[in-house]
Structure 1
Amino acid sequence: MRILPHRRTLQLLLLLAPGIGYLLFFFGAPLLSALVGSFRMEDGSFTLNWYQRIFTRPSMLRGLSTSIYYGIIPVLLSLTLSVPLSLLLRRSFFGRKLFSGLYKLPMAVPSIIVGLMVIVVFERGGFFDRLLAPLGFTLPKLVRDEWGLGVIMAGAWKQVPFMTLIITSAFAAIPEDIRHAARTLGASRLSTFLSVDIPLAMPGITAAILLTFIGSMGSYAIPDIVGPATARPLSVLMVQEFKQGRFEQVYAMGMVLSLFAVAVLLVYYGLTSRIGNGSLKGAA
């Protein structure tokens, strides 16, 4: 029996309705409410003052730049560690199963615990500082320092397993025949990795970068615990504004962070589409 086009469309909409309804109710409605709230004064009138404060107040501007800084630097550090780790996990070695389970443990540790661990281990007078003291060395300031090194270390420690898991899957999805063909044609291991593995795994790599960047930029617990008091990211400033009852300001700050996340998402889709088109042209 042939199904009419309009009936097929109706069936498709009915199948998609639960998922779309869930997204609209639990994601779209709160986001729309926050967007409307970010343009309202306490008396309900329209205003741009909350956004103006973000882009004119020095503390807010520094908070925005700090959020971007904490979003980019830990991701770059995690990427430089995750790619070699993913290549290592592709090989067979003694204790590989145990290692592949242990490296994922940081994903199960809450961020607040990670922050406290950094204080205990890297704070002056902490574990490493006392360990180096008999040798005549002093650990540099790594906690609450101006450059946020403690935040970067803690963020990378949390992100490396997650990023490695995604990148390892991306490398594993590449057929071995392609690598063997490149080696047969005279390509070295390094050139095969750069010209075959990296381009084919790039969608997975960019997805890992995207997800970790968004999570790192919006992180609250780690920057609040081990970050410098003079440079607070927007996520920490949002909580401070919330405690003071300025909910409209919180909405505006959340919208700015969301805007940056959407911008990164658009860049991701543009990059992956270019890679896909380039791969298709190369295959043709």
Structure 2
Amino acid sequence: MPALLRDHRLLLPLLLAPGVGYLLLFFGGPLASALIGSLRLEDGSFTLAWYVRIFTRPSMLRGLGTSIYYGVAPVVVSLLVSVPLSLAIRRHFVGRKLFSGLYKLPLAVPGIIVGLMIIVLFERGGFIDRAVAPLGLGLPKLVRDDWGVGVILASVWKQIPFMTLIITSAFAAIPEDIRFAGRTLGASRLATFFLVEVPLAMPGITAAVLLTFIGSMGSYAIPDIVGPPTARPLSVLMVNEFNQGRFPQVFAMGMVLSAFAVAVLVAYYTLTSRIGDAHGRGDTK
């Protein structure tokens, strides 16, 4: 073996070089370019005017709040559905293989198709509204409403399979012996789930939450099609600015969205690590 590989101090950087290089080239490079572009005027001078515009214009402030709302609300709903669904998939029942394939179908459907599907189904005068009309019933406004219910419905339909797939794998990775040990020590099935399985599956749950949050917060097609016209998220406003040729403003809006996504990542990992540390200290007492 060459002497270079025998030196452990050089082996670790060599092993990390491909991954780090990939991140720097395809993530760090574009991010740095966008940051520089967001700080420049047409004459080449540097300015913070594009960021000031985001935090002073009511439409953009409202767009930032809407982006965060569209990031959080679908994730909460999807998590409440995905965890029970992942537990059900673990059980053996008739048609389990067929169901395990069918629930993943939304992953292959583009967002623009999902938005059009929501319009066809839930718009007033749409398929469901006409179906319940003979019963004297009618749907409330669910498409382009002020609360963005249509956006949440579409995002949840897209997110549940992805989130369920990750959470199912996280629960499946827990050895059965650990579950049996909890039951043997007198814990109920519910207590074993919340006190043993959920903490062990938390890395997978965390990954599912963060990935779906970032995806839904930056989504463009679904909010543009079924979202309310009075509260457009930053992703939609970015396209409008792009069409008007204000590229520095587009870069600034993208950097703000990225900053919020990173802030959520840091806050979430900090919170979960503290919970894990507290749980670990409780176990050692």
One fold, TM greater than 0.5?
yes
Partner of 1:206: 206
Partner of 1:56: 56
Task: Spell out, residue by residue over 1:135-191, the C-alpha distance to the aligned partner (whole angstroms, 9 max, x if none).
Answer: 111111110011000000000000001111111111111111111111112211111
Q: Quick one: distance in 1 between partners of 2:15 and 2:202?
A: 32
Residue 230 of structure 2 aligns to which amino acid in structure 1?
Answer: T
Partner of 1:251: 251
Q: How does 1:224-239 map to 2 (within 5 A)?
A: 224-239=224-239
Q: How many percent of aligned residue pairs carry the same amino acid?
A: 76
Contact 1:207 1:268 in 2 (8 A): no
Residue 212 of structure 1 aligns to which amino acid in structure 2?
Answer: T
Contact 1:199 1:275 in 2 (8 A): no
* DSSP 3-state at the match of 1:141: coil
Partner of 1:260: 260
Partner of 2:217: 217
Q: Quick one: distance in 1 between partners of 2:73 and 2:120?
A: 23
Q: Quick one: distance in 2 between partners of 1:202 and 1:15?
A: 28
**TM-score, length-scaled by structure 2:** 0.94
Q: Quick one: distance in 1 between partners of 2:9 and 2:194?
A: 45
* DSSP 3-state at the match of 2:39: coil
Partner of 1:183: 183
2:26 equivalent to 1:26: yes
In the superposition, relative to structure 1, how do residues 138 and 158 fare at CA in structure 2: closer, same or farther (>3 Å)? same
Shift of 1:195: 1.1
Task: Spell out, residue by residue over 1:87-110, the C-alpha distance to the aligned partner (whole angstroms, 9 max, x if none).
Answer: 101111000000011001101100
Residue 39 of structure 1 aligns to which amino acid in structure 2?
Answer: L
> Which structure 2 segments of 5+ residues have no match?
none
**TM-score, length-scaled by structure 1:** 0.95
Contact 2:167 2:201 in 1 (8 A): yes
Contact 1:144 1:226 in 2 (8 A): yes
Residue 13 of structure 1 aligns to which amino acid in structure 2?
Answer: P
**Residue correspondences, number:** 284
| RMSD of equivalent CA atoms | 1.8
The more displaced of 136-145 and 182-191 is: 182-191
Shift of 1:8: 4.2
2:267 equivalent to 1:270: no
Shift of 1:14: 3.8
Q: Quick one: distance in 1 between partners of 2:16 and 2:196?
A: 37
Residue 38 of structure 1 aligns to which amino acid in structure 2?
Answer: S
Q: Quick one: distance in 1 between partners of 2:181 and 2:196?
A: 10
Partner of 1:65: 65
Task: Spell out, residue by residue over 1:234-283, the C-alpha distance to the aligned partner (whole angstroms, 9 max, x if none).
Answer: 00000000000000000000000000111111123223433443454355
Contact 1:65 1:233 in 2 (8 A): yes
Q: Quick one: distance in 1 between partners of 2:195 and 2:164?
A: 20
Shift of 1:16: 3.3
In the superposition, relative to structure 1, how do residues 239 and 280 fare at CA in structure 2: closer, same or farther (>3 Å)? same
Partner of 1:138: 138
Contact 2:4 2:10 in 1 (8 A): no
* DSSP 3-state at the match of 2:232: coil
Partner of 2:116: 116
Residue 60 of structure 1 aligns to which amino acid in structure 2?
Answer: M
> Which structure 1 segments of 5+ residues have no match?
none
In the superposition, relative to structure 1, how do residues 129 and 182 fare at CA in structure 2: closer, same or farther (>3 Å)? same
